Amino acid sequence: MSGNRQLTHEHEDSDEEADVHAKQRKHPTEESSDLDEEEACVATKRAPVSGILHMIDTFDRKGGARAESSYANCENYAVGLENKPGKRIPKAGILAEAGYGRARAEYSVFEAEAKGPNASIGAEASLAKVGAMGRAEVASASAKAGPVTVKAGLGFDTGASIGLGGVEAKFLGTGFSIGAKTGVSVLGSEVSCSVM
């Protein structure tokens, strides 16, 4: 019987915690002066910086997850110098993307993403780098923990970037990055480690 009381007590604590978390979350249609979870996800995805800069930009990011069956969008962005996740490091760029099937989860400096067939083109400028990349993937899955990124898939990224983090160049999914971010890509699968 005491076990039932304990379970009931734990359930009440969970309800209280759920109420606190529900108050912290805001519906995307509500107006807010703070960056909500979906905006943080999108801002970070738009122009990801790498390594230590990424950790500074996202260390206090709240957890979030989302999935889409199909997506298409074209947007430009300019963010920076705001004390909000995804907006601390100044960055600007343009991104056009379309695809079928995407799921993403993130919390603090950790991220995971899976994509079905997709294509995108983008250009960005930030404190960390300047570059442009066109991407076409059959499918991919990636995980990021702080400075370490692992990606498995079949893709044909083509483009280049240069900046404080070094140089990156890819042609039809195969290429390299040398500098603060060091990595190798072969037909869309990639392993990299970033210190900056």
Domain ranges of the chain: 34-194
pLDDT reading at 38 higher than 70: no
Distance of alpha carbon 134 from alpha carbon 132, whole angstroms: 7
Query: Region 22-29: what's the mean pLDDT?
Result: 36
**What local confidence, expressed as pLDDT, does residue 175 receive?**
97
- Name the band, by pLDDT with cuts 50, 70 and 90, for residue 51: low
